[in-house]
A and B are shown apart, each in its own frame.
Chain A
Amino acid sequence: MKYRPARSLEKLLLRPAGLFLIAFALLTFSSVTLQAQDWFKTETSAGVSNIRLAVADFKPASVDPQTASLKQTFDSTLFNDLSSAGIFDIVSKSLLPQATPGAPGEINLAQWSAAPANAAMIAFGALGTSGGRLTVNGFLFDAKNTQFPQVLSKQYSEEANEEMARQVAHRFADEIIFRLGGGIPGIAETKIYYVKVGGGNKEIWAMDYDGANQHEITHLGTVSISPRVSPDNSRIAFSSLGKDGFQIRMYSLLLNRMVNFSSGGGGTNLSPAWSPNGRDIAFSSSRTGDPEIYIADSNGGSARRVTSFRGPDVSPVFNPKTGSQIAWISGRTHLPQLYIMDADGSAITRLTDGGYATSPSWSPNGQFLAFAWDRKYGPGAPGGQDIYVMEVATKRWIQVTHDIGRCDFPSWSPDGRHLVFANSPDGRASSTRIVSMLADGTGRRNLTGPGADMPNWSWK
């Protein structure tokens, strides 16, 4: 039996910060309980309409045999980047005019602004290869401004290969998103670090934000979990099983090798988290026999204890906006719950009211916590573990995944508009894959096949 109190609630998770408050103020509850609901409809376009953007296929500017395949890579990457940005109403390819303008002089704006395309903005340009170089001229035009339509004009020249064709498309997409998305940089050039399961071992891997370019980072031949990339993208902290159990280890993305991290003190040390200035690492350590939250320097030195309460304390995460608060998971009242505190251990506040809550991730603007929650936890209980987003100030929450199996390890994108998480459709660990979505739960896309877990989105 489906428990689905469908309520139309306006939510604007994809809008810039100011609108979030309005969104939550607009949350209306018609049931007798003041609790949030298990299920409700979200309308990302409610109140404010997305910009209608036409993305033209680029015009081939050369007859080089390489051009066709690179152009196809570029076109599909650009289209995907803009489609998944969450701020556009993308004109369906079937509604676009047949023309492929390659330069400002070649475009007939009326053709694009009229029905059926009805575009407000048009991205177009030309792509050519010659002498092993890829040259892309990209334009963004305002279809309704016939006198001065040009919003953006970019030129790129790179080595002619598939990888660079994708990178150039990402860069151009990010320029458009930055220009039209309220000044928040796009995420098309960001990375996702994750755990790849294979042959009884787990290694740290990385991929582009859209699932392309999946490649191995560590080769330790053991179980390595919980990758967390530093705010400057220079290092990855993670925890790894050695002869003394799980310990925090550090990989340098600049040197492409392991670097020293010694948390000292013994016990199991796990779930590292970077402070937004990159100078501190919060983690869970059982050096006293009971897992507690500690903060150390980024090389593991001068570790100091933050929590002090019997029961597991684990999975800390700094407020990325201020660096002065920590959210974490504590089992001090039996089942794990979500808490926040100041970074000195004071002002402890419990945020979840029951169930089994794990894996917090703090949104870049500091306003929201995403986490995994099984609200009716217990043997045989209905429901499952889903991703939830809570507004820290009000403790109001919404459920953003529904009926797709077991979900865990949400991680915010740097633009705060997306979440990546691990999903197992049948609940088995071996089926776990990485999925991204808009922060309101729409636009879900599988980034990997089975055997990938614990994604961590880079800070920029």
Chain B
Amino acid sequence: MRILRFVARRLLQLIPVLLGVIVLTFLLVRVLPGDPVRTILGQNATEADAAAARARFGLDQPLWRQFLDYLTGLVTGDFGTSIQSGAPVGAEMALRVGPTLELVVIAVTIALVVATVLGVWSARRAERPADHGIRVLALVGNSVPEFWLGLVLVLVGYSVLGWFPAPNGRVDPDTGLTPLTGADLVDAVLTGNGPAIASAAAYLVLPVLTLVIGVVAPLLRSVRASALEVLHSEPYAAAAAHGLPRRTLLYGYLMRATLVRLPSLAALVFGTAIGSTVLVEYVFSWQGFGQWALRGLLYRDYPVVQASVLVIALCYVLVFLIADVVHAILDPRVRI
């Protein structure tokens, strides 16, 4: 009950936060040098053509007018029209958000599980070779640039071993998948399309692996550090001195106490992972959100930039909310 109240309160706080984000991005993209209209008209356009195009996108209006139009559009769910493609931003984004979220959520989930298992395992063997090995591996994975790692994985997984499909999309077009959410694996499962499930999963392996290797290191280090702290803590020593069996100690006295600090870091890592997808999507031709947002920024496509920043901000706030709730569930001392 308390948690529901907390969530409701935090969701209400979302409104002013998003409003601030909207105002800031609206102003900032217009401060950036560069003219979106020039980029679509090409070299030979006249001043009159440009003025016409500006009028078409409402860019000739005073700033406050543009902002009000944008805001009223947002309230009705209209993100505006892309200057580059001329298509509605909302529809474009709907196609793009799904694949990227699928990638990031799967990658961060796997990274969390791997970090927890290996971190606790490593802490229980602290200062032994296995512990050092894991830490070095995690560090190496963390130090390698993602795009390069992606290329190496493509080279090994596709060119040499041939286990995984070529980096040319998200699902085999021959499987005839009907897109619903944009996240192909989810769509395949929802439509019960067997071949599409297999194909989408196969396409996911390499990009997810790239992201996991990129983000697992900080999580692993954090889990290992807190597990070590718990292992050396008074409560754990007391439980051990009372002769509790290994399993009880591990699941009852070590795990939960260790994981208490993970959610807030995981939320941060989630944010980093969204950023990392830009390059990973590029390497794997993943037609995702990162690519789309980047292109919008490069061409000063105002509505696209505004919409993408808004969505990212929303993601952040929601993820941190989830992290706080998980933290409160894990740690009974937290009052929310």
Q: Do A and B bind each other?
A: no
- Which of B's residues lie within 8 Å of A, judged by CB? none
- Which of A's residues lie within 8 Å of B, judged by CB? none
